[in-house]
Amino acid sequence: MRKNQLAYWWCQLGGWTFYGLSVIFFIWVFHLQLTSIIASRILLDISFGLLFTHILRLLILKLKLVPPIFGGQWIQLFVVTLFICITYSYVGSTMVEWLHLYDPKIKATIPERFFLNIANDSPIILVWLSIYYLWHYFENTRNAKIDSVKMESLVKELQLKTIKSHINPHFIFNALNSIRALVDENPERARTAITELSNILRSSMQAEKTETTKLEKELSIVRDYLELEQIRFEDRLKVEYNIDEDTLDQQVPPMMLQTLVENAIKHGINKQLSGGVIRIHSFFTDDHLELIVENTGFLNENNNPDGFGITSTTSRLKLLYGNDASFQIKNINGNLVQAKVILPVTALVSLK
């Protein structure tokens, strides 16, 4: 038996048992006598209540009147409920007559008992129906919220996987171009570059398995990447690190810092005839971790501020941290571009 079915029958048995005990309670409160006839009538009411409300439920399911219902379905529900109330009262009246469950001194006719039962039993059926529908409305609302959360989580995971699937090819193509430029002019350095690239690819494939990684590991990838680029740029590229050792254990999105450094090379250093400098900073500010990449150059419309490096960083921060993280890129000191990422030190927004 399914879990919902089991819960339904427990509610049915519990609800109608509570109804019978309530009748007995009021008999005791008003100092009435609980005779065998009254006890039998209570058992009969409970049995028929279970039977006819179950039939009502089967009709609701058969006619697909489970909430939410609209328009003409309300008329169908009214007709079905009226039919159950009439049948319940008629069968109950007939069984009382057939089993002689009445006081002979105050015997009522079947029609009289039928209309009396309609007046007494219909409200009970309506109460049952109200509870049944309220339960379904609450259940539907709860399920809708759960589905909404699951869908939001699924969308976030799909978006993150899509972003990640672009990061590695984007980096690989740029790195291969760098190696290709060295093949003819300096084969020895090209072989060294291939070794560096293999180290980076190994690290990046491991990074794909997690949503975040330690900053120390991310910096290792960045150092390999910059060593690879220094083979191409030689003295035109200077690299400076200003890393607070206390930040090395902090969790950051994998390949994010490398993407920003790659962006600085492509749009900054690569466009300077005399090359330039790349500075990488990490430090704590209040309860946040700040990661800063500075490069020689100038940010303008031709730098494509909406390019992959910037849009992927913005999207990943939004998906992983919500509004608790931020990213900005701007010109500073006339000839430097600064890309700043601010991350919370606290845990990530859960995706599960």
Q: What is the pLDDT of residues 79-110, one digit of tens each?
A: 999 999 888 888 887 887 787 777 666 666 76
Q: How far apart are CA 298 and CA 257, in angstroms?
A: 20
Q: What pLDDT is stored for residue 11 in this prediction?
A: 87
Q: What pLDDT is stored for residue 165 in this prediction?
A: 53
Spans of all domains in the chain: 3-148, 186-344
Q: What pLDDT is stored for residue 211 in this prediction?
A: 77
Q: What pLDDT is stored for residue 163 in this prediction?
A: 56
Q: What is the pLDDT of residues 109-138, one digit of tens each?
A: 767 777 877 887 788 888 999 998 888 888
Packed helices 308-321 and 256-267: angle between N→C axes, nearest 10 degrees: 160
Pick the CATH number of 186-344 from 3.40.50.150, 1.20.1250.20, 3.30.565.10, 3.30.1330.10: 3.30.565.10
- Which tokens go with 263? 């962006």
- Which tokens go with 309? 């490096």
Q: What is the pLDDT of residues 220-259, one digit of tens each?
A: 889 988 988 887 788 899 999 999 999 999 999 887 898 8
Which of helix, strand or coil describes residue 60?
Answer: helix
Q: For the chain, report the end-to-end CA distance as a whole number of angstroms.
A: 30
